[in-house]
Amino acid sequence: MPEPSDLDSLLNRMRSATAPIRSVLEALHEQFLPLRTGTVADYIPELAFAEPDWFGIAVASVDGQVVEVGDSQQPFSMQSVSKPFVYGLALENHGREHLLSKVNVEPTGEAFNSIVLDETTNRPFNPLVNSGAIATTDLITGTDYAERIKNLLGMLANYAGHPVFVDNATFISERTTGHRNRAIAHLMLNFGMIEDRVDETLELYFQQCSVLVNCHDLAVMAATLANGGVNPITGVRALSTAHVKDVLSIMYSCGMYDYSGEWGYLVGLPAKSGVCGAILAVVPGKFGIAVFSPPLDERGNSVRGVAVCRELSQRFGLHAFEAHFAGTTLTDEFKPARR
């Protein structure tokens, strides 16, 4: 254990190294906090209790640094942000070819909860809309329901770096109002897209959406994907390197609902949003970004979250197809790109 003076010196060096990015995040928080457009989701009653002014931003690097501002410690349920991580678990359990036979990887151009299925291929369109997510959750392995939920929570804990838990109030709210998801699941059962355990899979799906995290956690989870599937703080592998590119690819093409095309054009990062008001974005090999702000636009994406990510991408050249982007440390990566 370092002596107190040594520990103070270490903390000062860490603060100095992250000071530039902290200043950037604080400025963005101040810039977009007055943005009052958007509406807090209320179709799941528990979500309606979120405060419109909650606003947190966090960035976690592949070398284990985390910088956060605002309401970054405010807990929220993962909702659809959980979907790419469950897709990764299904890849680990079943392999790419089997998963492709069950869930397609095509954008829909439709709302996330649309009752639209690809009857030609007998698959949901992709794993990041509700139909595909339910089909992916159906693939979580286990001898019984208890083991399946244990496997789900264990996987998410590996990404977050600590145990995670289901918020019971949100789960009950999801279960009570989830009639549309039940309709989607039974329609998929009719077409043989999922197994004949609909109620159990829906319970698992509602639990998955109700897992509590905060903005700090989500940035570390994004950084784990940026770091080839290894949590940069704990060193625990959450996803095999071979499957990281599949998860990031589907996030890039489908992660922002029916805004995914414009997001890819303007922001250019693999990302996933949720009606909780969170957005997770990944700069592969570099860092993860998380923004939490409950008011949503008409497509279900956080208004402030989209604004922050657009500003970061454009100001610092983070778009996947900007060939000049290169950096080795968190500080380097947030130096303005040369134009």
327 with 317: CB under 8 angstroms?
no
Residue type, 228: G
CA atoms within a 13 Å half-sphere pointing along the CA-CB vector of 117: 25
Cα 39 to Cα 30: distance, rounded to the nearest angstrom: 20
Contacts of 185 (CB under 8 A, 6+ apart): 134, 194, 198, 201, 202
Cα 82 to Cα 209: distance, rounded to the nearest angstrom: 6
318 with 311: CB under 8 angstroms?
no
Task: Point out the residues that are catalytic.
Answer: 80, 83, 205, 257, 275
Residue type, 35: L
In residues, how long is the chain? Answer: 339
Q: H helices of the chain, where?
A: 4-32, 83-94, 96-102, 130-137, 145-160, 168-177, 179-190, 198-209, 215-226, 241-254, 260-266, 303-316, 330-333
Cα 80 to Cα 111: distance, rounded to the nearest angstrom: 13
148 with 140: CB under 8 angstroms?
yes
187 with 118: CB under 8 angstroms?
no
Cα 264 to Cα 233: distance, rounded to the nearest angstrom: 29
